């Protein structure tokens, strides 16, 4: 059974996928060895592959899940529907409706230790299935934030459900200790648990040493 940290990361990955931020969702999954081996994470990666136009890789992932976890129903259903035209012909893997609703519902259920899966039908309306996920804002710092920087971030206290820190700054081993410190500082400033603050990778065009904080709710 996945740890609480892995479950929290999975929920975050589902949220990113719902917002169509597939690269970030995949990066978060692959950064955690424990999480990446779970059937739920592999299933999410397969669905991302479908969205990216790679049904062959999606099929391979779902087949791997079935080989390792034959009791996993979502992957079995997805394999059965892969390649079938849906109503309107828009999705060839499965009707685009409930796919993210299914995933988000499962992630939330796992996080709360609920012992069952909430499975949506494959022909629901996407607007009905997707949760209300909105990015509040993003803030960029030149380096480790000063007290004034954090005070400005405090303006968003109570408005952000979680934050992602995107930076290559932490890749330097000499600065790795700053990760835990900054995670704590951001969590306390926003009034959210540290488990809701995630470390990501800076965009390719970001200046070296720059830290970007993306706030979501």
How confident is the prediction along the chain (217 residues), in pLDDT tens digits per residue?
Answer: 456 667 777 777 877 777 778 888 888 888 888 888 888 889 889 988 888 889 899 999 999 999 999 988 888 888 888 876 544 332 333 333 344 444 454 444 444 433 333 333 333 333 333 334 567 777 888 777 777 788 788 888 888 888 887 766 666 655 666 677 778 888 888 888 887 887 766 655 656 667 778 888 7
Are residue 107 and residue 209 in the same domain, yes or no?
no
Residue 92 is predicted with a pLDDT of 36
Residue 101 is predicted with a pLDDT of 45
Are residue 104 and residue 13 in the same domain, yes or no?
yes
The number of domains in the chain is 2
Are residue 151 and residue 183 in the same domain, yes or no?
yes
Are residue 188 and residue 100 in the same domain, yes or no?
no
Query: Which DSSP state fits 48?
Result: H
Residue 137 is predicted with a pLDDT of 77
Place of tokens 């992630």: 107
Residue 155 is predicted with a pLDDT of 83
Residue 134 is predicted with a pLDDT of 66
Residue 65 is predicted with a pLDDT of 92
- Beta strand pairing status for 135-141 and 162-166? unpaired
Helix (H, G, I), strand (E, B) or coil at 44: helix
Q: Where in the sequence is the domain holding 139, given as residue range(s)?
A: 135-216
Residue 66 is predicted with a pLDDT of 93
Going 104 to 106 to 112 to 116, the CA torsion angle's sign is positive
CA distance 152 to 136: 14
Are residue 112 and residue 195 in the same domain, yes or no?
no
Are residue 173 and residue 113 in the same domain, yes or no?
no
Are residue 10 and residue 63 in the same domain, yes or no?
yes
Are residue 14 and residue 107 in the same domain, yes or no?
yes
Q: How far is CA 182 from the centre of its chain?
A: 21
Are residue 150 and residue 88 in the same domain, yes or no?
no
Residue 60 is predicted with a pLDDT of 94
Are residue 54 and residue 146 in the same domain, yes or no?
no
Q: Is 113 left (phi over 0), alpha (psi -120 to 50) or beta?
A: left
Single pTM value for the model: 0.44
Residue 112 is predicted with a pLDDT of 40
From 92, 113, 129, give the residue that closes a domain.
Answer: 129
Query: Which DSSP state fits 154?
Result: G
Residue 1 is predicted with a pLDDT of 45
From 129, 145, 167, give the residue that closes a domain.
Answer: 129
Residue 179 is predicted with a pLDDT of 72
Are residue 105 and residue 141 in the same domain, yes or no?
no
- Cα–Cα–Cα angle for 19, 188, 207, nearest 5°? 60
From 129, 159, 179, give the residue that closes a domain.
Answer: 129
- Determine phi and psi for 215, rounding to 5 degrees: -105, 130
Are residue 103 and residue 193 in the same domain, yes or no?
no
């Amino acid at each position: 059974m996945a740890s609480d940290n892995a479950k929290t990361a999975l929920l975050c990955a589902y949220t990113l996928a719902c917002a169509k931020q597939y690269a970030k969702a995949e990066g978060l999954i692959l950064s955690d060895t424990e999480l990446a081996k779970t059937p739920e994470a592999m299933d999410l990666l397969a669905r991302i592959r479908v969205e990216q136009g790679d049904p062959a890789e999606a099929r391979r992932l779902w087949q791997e899940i079935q080989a390792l976890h034959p009791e996993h129903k979502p992957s079995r259903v997805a394999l059965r529907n892969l390649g079938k035209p849906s109503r309107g012909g828009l999705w060839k893997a499965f009707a685009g409706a409930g796919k993210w609703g299914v995933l988000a519902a499962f992630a939330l259920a796992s996080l709360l230790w609920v012992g069952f899966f909430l499975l949506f039908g494959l022909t629901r309306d996407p607007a009905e299935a997707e949760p209300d996920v909105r990015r509040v804002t993003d803030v960029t710092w030149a380096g480790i934030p000063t007290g004034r920087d954090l005070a400005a971030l405090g303006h968003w206290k109570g408005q952000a459900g979680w934050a992602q820190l995107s930076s290559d700054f932490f890749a330097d081993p000499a600065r790795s200790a700053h990760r835990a410190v900054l995670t704590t500082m951001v969590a306390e400033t926003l009034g959210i648990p540290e488990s809701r603050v995630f470390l990501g990778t800076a965009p390719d065009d970001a200046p070296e040493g720059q830290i970007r904080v993306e706030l979501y709710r």
